Structure 1
Amino acid sequence: MVMAEIIDRYKALGVQLWADDGQLRFRAPAGVLNEQRVAELRSYKEALIKHLQEPEQSTVQADPFNRYMPFPLTDIQAAYLIGRKDDYALGGVGCHGYVELSMPVMDKARLEKAWHLLINRHDMLRAVVFAQGYQQVRSEITLPSLPMQDVRGANPVQVQAAIQQVREELSNRQYIPDQWPLYELFLTTIDDTSILHVSIDMLIADFVSINIILAELNHFYHQPERPLPKLDITYRDLLLYQQARQKQPAVKARKERDRQYWLARIDQMPEAPALPLADRQVDMQKAAFERHPFWLEQNKWTALCRQAGKKKITPASAVLGAFAEVIGLWSGQPDFCINITILNRPDLHPQINRIIGDFTEVNVLQVSPAAGSTYAERIQALQQRLWLDMEHRSFSGIEVLRELRRRRNKSVIIPVVYTSTIGAGTVVPKEGELMRNARLTYGITQTPQVWIDCQVSEQAGELHLNWDVRRGIFPEGMIEEAFTFFKHLLAEMVADEQVWRNQTPLTPPASAGQRYAAEFYKENCL
């Protein structure tokens, strides 16, 4: 058994392993380390300690000679590339991220120089992606200028119009994958503030990568005289190593085990939630997304974590359970699947968390509540299902979807997505930590073949949530009502212990359909 595989698998469950003074130490969410998992860790204890004490002996090898040669896409990159085409349902849009950061006035020339240093440092900021299924880092580029608008002295209406114009253009940008660059920066300066607009195609970067970009841009702007540590490996090196490792006997055996786990379930797996749609032809419209934000203050989030912990539910599972509950309310049936985004950066090299690239995976999570179950019991069951799935994730969610399509002889998409960094070892920095004295004032993501993307993170001890929703999909007012119910449910999970013990945690609005009146909620009886 490859020790990195074991560590990677437990990391996905939220378990942190390390060696200390010859002992194997761990930190784990309540309920994760059952007897079977403890027994497994004990059986590999000595090998794990040895591996953890010698991380520098990674077998990932830098290959500078072939640095600019083409290399394959990951499963998720390939899915993003195909899904963005106009001839696919709910396509016509790339996987794209856009943020605005407000900060003290920045010097354009200095910021442009910092941006150029960053582009030269990271290979994937010089990469393009080809429809034939490969990507390539360009060996020669012409560094882009930093466009800017200076609206100092303008009235508030003019300022907002100027900001909105850039926002409309960059937040809906459709990049051509094989044309560099796959990102843009724009600087707006008003009287005492600069706004940095950042647009990027997520084919070349994941959530962690955006944090790296902003943190290192800040470093090169404020401390250009202090070079960052040289990067010893590239995204290409890591990806090719991961693909080569698939040929190892132990890894192949695990992949086959995981494949059998999914194949045994796949014929009984439901598909997407049957949410009401406003227009069946909506995929023919121009794609645009809108954001619905919410946060829980630190004291309330701490209280929610405490409530969940009493029931051996992790904070991440508590929020996931609330989201699944709301989606189920508006769904035409209680059983459905949602996609769980996994931010997967396995411990293959000490610098892996400094590398820009897309390390994203997905898990197809089945939501099948048991009849007569309480709200807490449904969340516990969903948590156990996710943990079990994560132990079998070498057969990826993209492969699961391919098999669903093959067996059912039709297109199968799961357009409801849940993305959480809670407990994933990825901390969202506090306000001002990525760029000095900066605050996030606007953000939006868009993804092909997605209706709703629920994004959850911890920031400065608070719980921050967004629903990024594709416009025109749902009946007018439905998302607003569902999101309001979601916020109310989370608040009641903090304030009222009884909510967890009820079968029906809150009385749903009339538009939520008939789920709560359905037979599903009847008590089991003779």
Structure 2
Amino acid sequence: MGSLFRDWHRFDRNPHSEIQPLELSFRDYVLSLNSLEKSSRYQRAWTYWQKRLADLPNAPELPLAKSIATVKQPHFVRRTHKLTPDFWQPLKQKFLDTGLTLSGGLLAAFAEIIALWSKNPRFTITLTTFNRFPIHPQVNQLVGDFTSLNLLAIDYSKTDNFNTRAKQVQLQLWEDLNYSEVSGIGLLRELAKQRNIGTGASFPVVFTSLLGNPQIKDSDRDSPLTWLGEIVWGISQTPQVFLDHQVYEEAGSLIFNWDAVEELFPTGLLDDMFAAYCHLLESLATEKIWQLDRSSQLIPKNQLQKFNAVNSTDLPIQKNY
């Protein structure tokens, strides 16, 4: 889509602009990918994922107000925030100094918040990646759907500090991406087959990053819609997804959104989670929160009171018990 909007911008500025025809089409690209499945490279990736799927954890068990199956027409609501350069630039440097990519650091922070509210500390998040295999010098100029999915296992069951957990997330991400020849759709089908899930496996918490993609030129890293003016509304709505987190950079700031199926969650829960995420990012840029064992101090007081009440043992025991 970025290529499409940038070409539109070019023609808007100069209606007489010309674009040279490409030597390949998106169809050529798809056919090339299909032939890749016969290669040793693909078989190597398939072997890797067969082993990974055997121990792949389920989706995060977040508190829900109703069953997903009861939502016939999902209504997504967006929460958005801007991390200004005063916070974002130092945070970028801290990520790099720690050995994290920008996407890896933000993904680890997102997983930290999910883990705080998830019943299961081991869970899988779906990553949306934009992966164009370099089959031709002009492949980055093609317009088409190059999105692919990666199933990333997160393990926050150990009481390490955030620094350690973030590095573990980054290493797992790098390893998985080394075997990206197998599509996420193919993995979901295989997982459904392995676990005998008739309707297919589902991992409805999604992370999408437009940061640090080597296939995007530095001059193109800002939103391709900037020339149209300020974005005043937007939403992403994807089947079998109930929380979609997107991050991108614009004018030196980090812009991020949470698009979620509002009715699935208890009232106020998403607001609390999103506020905790915003606070975590700002804290990572300015404080030594990296070395803390857990980020439970990020949970709002009203949520902590509920947690403490549920887990409290300071209650009178009934005589007839």
User: Which category describes the TM-score, using the shorter chain as reference length?
Assistant: 0.7 to 0.9
Report the secondary structure of 1:464's partner residue: strand
- 1:291-370 equivalent positions in 2, closer than 5 A: 291-369=78-156
1:439 positional shift: 2.7
User: Where does residue 208 of structure 2 map in the other structure?
Assistant: 419
- 1:196-235 equivalent positions in 2, closer than 5 A: 209=1, 211-235=2-26
Deviations 1:223-279, CA, capped at 9 Å, x for gaps: 1122222233211111112222333xxxx2222222222222322221110011111
Change (3 A) 1:245 1:397: closer
In 1, Cα distance between equivalents of 2:293 and 2:194: 35
Change (3 A) 1:253 1:514: farther
1:282 positional shift: 5.4
Report if aligned partners of 1:334, 1:369 keep a CA contact under 8 Å in 2. yes
Deviations 1:411-448, CA, capped at 9 Å, x for gaps: 320000000011112365547x6564623222111100
Change (3 A) 1:435 1:503: closer
Deviations 1:285-344, CA, capped at 9 Å, x for gaps: 322211111111113111011222232122221111110010111111101001011101
Deviations 1:143-167, CA, capped at 9 Å, x for gaps: xxxxxxxxxxxxxxxxxxxxxxxxx
Deviations 1:378-426, CA, capped at 9 Å, x for gaps: 0000110111111122222222222221121123200000000111123
In 2, Cα distance between equivalents of 1:282 and 1:472: 12
Deviations 1:179-212, CA, capped at 9 Å, x for gaps: xxxxxxxxxxxxxxxxxxxxxxxxxxxxxx2x22
Aligned residues: 302
In 2, Cα distance between equivalents of 1:213 and 1:455: 20
2:272 counterpart of 1:481: yes
Q: Which structure dedicates a bigger proportion of its chain to strand?
A: 1
In 1, Cα distance between equivalents of 2:254 and 2:87: 9
Pairing partner for 2:48 from 258, 261, 264: 261
In 2, Cα distance between equivalents of 1:504 and 1:396: 34
2:176 counterpart of 1:386: no
Q: Match for 2:116: what amino acid?
A: L
1:476 positional shift: 1.2
Q: Match for 2:291: what amino acid?
A: R
1:280 positional shift: 1.1
Q: Match for 1:444: what amino acid?
A: I
In 2, Cα distance between equivalents of 1:245 and 1:500: 42
1:514 positional shift: 5.9
User: Where does residue 36 of structure 2 map in the other structure?
Assistant: 245
In 1, Cα distance between equivalents of 2:60 and 2:105: 20
User: Where does residue 319 of structure 2 map in the other structure?
Assistant: none
Report if aligned partners of 2:57, 2:153 keep a CA contact under 8 Å in 1. yes
User: Where does residue 502 of structure 1 map in the other structure?
Assistant: 292
Change (3 A) 1:232 1:255: closer
Change (3 A) 1:217 1:265: closer
In 1, Cα distance between equivalents of 2:90 and 2:30: 41
In 2, Cα distance between equivalents of 1:245 and 1:505: 43
Q: Which structure dedicates a bigger proportion of its chain to helix?
A: 2
Q: Match for 2:41: what amino acid?
A: R
Report the secondary structure of 1:441's partner residue: coil
Report if aligned partners of 1:318, 1:379 keep a CA contact under 8 Å in 2. yes
User: Where does residue 458 of structure 1 map in the other structure?
Assistant: 249
User: Where does residue 511 of structure 1 map in the other structure?
Assistant: 303
1:370 positional shift: 5.0
In 1, Cα distance between equivalents of 2:256 and 2:226: 21
Pairing partner for 1:469 from 233, 245, 260: 260
In 1, Cα distance between equivalents of 2:68 and 2:79: 24
Q: Match for 1:488: what amino acid?
A: H
Q: Match for 1:224: what amino acid?
A: P
User: Where does residue 443 of structure 1 map in the other structure?
Assistant: 234
1:487 positional shift: 0.2
Runs of 5+ unmatched residues, structure 1? 1-208, 519-526
Provide TM-score, normalisation by structure 1: 0.54
Change (3 A) 1:511 1:282: farther
In 2, Cα distance between equivalents of 1:435 and 1:306: 25
Q: Match for 1:348: what amino acid?
A: I
2:44 counterpart of 1:285: no
User: Where does residue 395 of structure 1 map in the other structure?
Assistant: 182
Report the secondary structure of 1:317's partner residue: helix
Report if aligned partners of 1:489, 1:506 keep a CA contact under 8 Å in 2. no
In 2, Cα distance between equivalents of 1:344 and 1:414: 20
Q: Match for 2:79: what amino acid?
A: H
Report the secondary structure of 2:233's partner residue: strand
Higher relative contact order (CA 8 A, sep 6+): 2
In 2, Cα distance between equivalents of 1:367 and 1:288: 27
